[in-house]
A and B are shown apart, each in its own frame.
Chain A
C-alpha cells in the first residue's frame, strides 16, 4: 500500500464510516422508536446519507458546476412528481 494511496484514501474511509454510522442510527430508530413521528428523523438521516454518497463518494463536489446541476436535476424532478401526486392523494 504505497503512502500516496493511503493519503488519498482518507476521504473514502471517512465517508464509509459516516455512512455506516448513519445507517446504524437509522437501524436503532427503526427498532426502538416505532411511534407515529419516527419517520421524520429516519427520512432526514436517509437524505444525509444520499447527500454524502452523491457529493463525496461520487465526487460531485469537485465536478464543474454543470455536472453538479445534472446530479441534482434528477432529484428536483422526483420532487415534482412526488409533491403533485401526493397533493392529489392527500386532498382527495
Chain B
C-alpha cells in the first residue's frame, strides 16, 4: 500500500458499529476462555504477550549493562550487581525470548493455517507447554532478580557448582523446566507438519516458513534433552554433592562444556531458522515474485538443522581441547555456513526483477539480509581456529552473536509481526510509523554493535565490569546506540497497540500475498477453514510476468 493511497482517518466519523463476528478473537471474550483455550491462534497470542514482557525485562537488563559500561572503572554498579545483570540479560533473552519468539508466536498461529489444518496435532499439549513456559520463566526471573545469579547464562562449572553464592540451584531448575516447554512445542510442530497437512499439500507445496519451523522443531526436540541432563547433573552436583564435574575429585569441567554446547549451538540455529522462514515469506510477498530456488532453501533449512549438531566444539578451541578435535569442529563450522549463504543469495535473487513495495516488513527484510551476512561472515572468522585465539570471549564474539540474534532473529520477528498483524488482529498498523521504526532500528543496532567488533579485536574481554580507559570512547558510542535501539523497540509497541483499536480494518489479504493463511478472513474463524482446502497450487504462485497496469 504505497503512501499515496493511504487515507487519513476522518476523526469526526464515529467508528462503525461492528456486529460481533465469530472469529477466534471475539468468539468468547471472557478472560477464562483465554487461559483454558486450546486454539493454537490464542496460544500464539498468549506467547506473544508473555515473550514481549520478557523482552522488555531483558532489554532493561541490557540497558543497565550498557549504562554501567559507560565508565571504565565501573562505579555505577558493584561488580556483583553487574555480573547478575548480564546473567539476567542472557538467561531471559536466550530462553524466555529468543527460543520461543518466532516458533511459539508466529509458528503457533500460522502453522495450522499454512498447512490447511484445523489445529495442531496435540492442542492440549500446546496449552500445557505455555503453562510450563510461564511457570518456569516467571519463577526463574523472580529468582534471578530477587536472589541473583552471577555465573552468566553459560553456568560454567566449577564456578556454578562450588564457587558461586548466587541462587544457581533455583535458576538451573527453572531452565530445566523451560526446556520441557521447548521439547513439547517442538514435538507438537514436528508431528503436525508430518501428519496434519491438507490433502494435496505435499512437502514441496509447503510455504518455506513451515520448512523453517519444522527444522527448528527438529533441533528443539533433539538438542534440549542434552541441556536438561547437563543441568540436572549440575543441579545434583551443587545440591547433593554428587561430584560429576568436580575437579577436586578428578572430574572434568570441560565435560560440562561439551554437554552444554551440544545444546547451546544448535539452539542458536533454533533462534535464526524461524527468522529465515519469515524472511522467505516477506521477500516473496513484497517482491511479488516466486521464490528463487525453493528446493535449495527448503533443504538448506534441514541442512543447517543437521550440521548444526556437529559444530559445538568451536566454543572450546582454547580450553585444552585436542587440536584435532578443534580442527574438525572448525571444518564443520565452515560447512554449516554454506546453507545460510545459499539462502541469503537466493533471497537476493528473489528480489531481483521483482515488483518491490518498500513497506515496513520489506525494510526489515532488507535490513535482515545485510545484517545477517555481516553476522555470518564474522561467525566464520570466529570459526577459524587461530583467529579465535585472539577474539574468543571478547566483545568480537558479543558483537557477532548480537548481529545474528538481534540483527536477524529480532528483525525477522518484528518483520513477521508487522506482516501478519492484519491477519492476527484484523487491523492495519500505520505504515509511515512502521518505516520510521524499521530505519531507526537499523541505525541504532549498527551504532550499538559495530563498535563492539572493534573493541573485540582490540582485546576487550567480555563480561568485564571494569576495562582499560582507552576503550571508553567506543563503549560510550555503543551505549548511545543502545538508547537509539531501545527507542526503535518502543515505537512498534506503541503504534501496534494503538492500531488494535484505531487501526483501519484489514481485509483477508491486505498485501495480496499468496498462501493458505491469506485465504481465510482476517481474524480467522475459530476452526480456521470451513472445509479443509485441497491444495493444487504451487507455493508462492505469484504471476511469472507482471500484467502491465
Contacts and interface: CB of A to CB of B under 8 A. Distances in A.
Interface of A: 66, 73-74, 77, 80-81, 84-85, 87-92
B524 interface: no
Contact of A87 (B254, B320, B324): B324
Given A66-B194, A73-B222, A81-B226, A92 B320 contact: yes
A76 B284 CA distance: 36
A91 B322 contact: yes
Nearest to B223: A77
A88 B258 contact: yes
Contacts of B325: 84, 87-88, 91
Contacts of A81: 226, 262, 309
Contact of A84 (B254, B255, B320, B329): B329
Interface string B290-331: 000000000000000000011011001000111011001100
B322 A84 contact: no
12 contacts: A73-B222, A77-B222, A81-B226, A81-B309, A84-B312, A84-B328, A84-B329, A87-B324, A88-B316, A90-B322, A91-B324, A92-B321
A90 B312 CA distance: 17
B321 A88 contact: yes
A59 B362 CA distance: 50
B222 A92 contact: no
Contacts of B194: 66
B222 A88 contact: no
Contacts of B312: 84
| Chief secondary structure at chain B's binding surface | helix
Given A66-B194, A85-B258, A80 B309 contact: yes
Nearest to B324: A91
A92 B324 CA distance: 8
A74 to B, nearest CB: 8
Interface string B14-41: 0000000000000000000000000000
Contacts of B262: 81, 85
A85 B310 CA distance: 10
Contacts of A74: 222
B309 A87 contact: no
Contacts of A87: 322, 324-325, 328
Interface of B: 194, 222, 226, 254-255, 258, 262, 309-310, 312-313, 316, 320-322, 324-325, 328-329
Contacts of A90: 322
A73 B218 CA distance: 10
A91 B325 CA distance: 7
Contact of B310 (A66, A80, A91, A92): A80
Contacts of B309: 77, 80-81
B497 to A, nearest CB: 42
A84 B222 contact: no
A91 to B, nearest CB: 4
3 closest A-B pairs by CB: A88-B325, A91-B322, A92-B322
B310 A84 contact: yes
Given A84-B310, A92-B320, 19 more contacts: A73-B222, A77-B222, A77-B309, A80-B309, A80-B310, A81-B309, A84-B312, A84-B325, A85-B255, A85-B258, A85-B262, A87-B322, A87-B325, A88-B254, A88-B313, A88-B321, A89-B322, A91-B325, A92-B322
Nearest to B316: A88
A85 to B, nearest CB: 5
Nearest to B226: A81
A81 B222 CA distance: 11
A64 to B, nearest CB: 10
Contacts of A80: 309-310
A85 B255 CA distance: 8
Contacts of B310: 80, 84
A54 B4 CA distance: 64
A76 to B, nearest CB: 9
B257 to A, nearest CB: 10
Contacts of A77: 222, 309
Contacts of A73: 222
B313 A84 contact: yes
A84 B330 CA distance: 12
A12 to B, nearest CB: 27
A84 B313 CA distance: 9
A85 B309 CA distance: 12
A80 B328 CA distance: 13
B226 A88 contact: no
Contacts of B329: 84
A89 B324 CA distance: 11
A92 B262 CA distance: 19
The listed residue with most B CB atoms (<10 A of its CB), out of A66, A74, A77, is: A77
B362 to A, nearest CB: 37
A7 B390 CA distance: 69
A74 B226 CA distance: 12
B388 to A, nearest CB: 16
A89 B313 CA distance: 12
Contacts of A88: 254, 258, 313, 316, 321-322, 325
B264 to A, nearest CB: 13
A84 to B, nearest CB: 7
A89 B257 CA distance: 13
A82 to B, nearest CB: 11
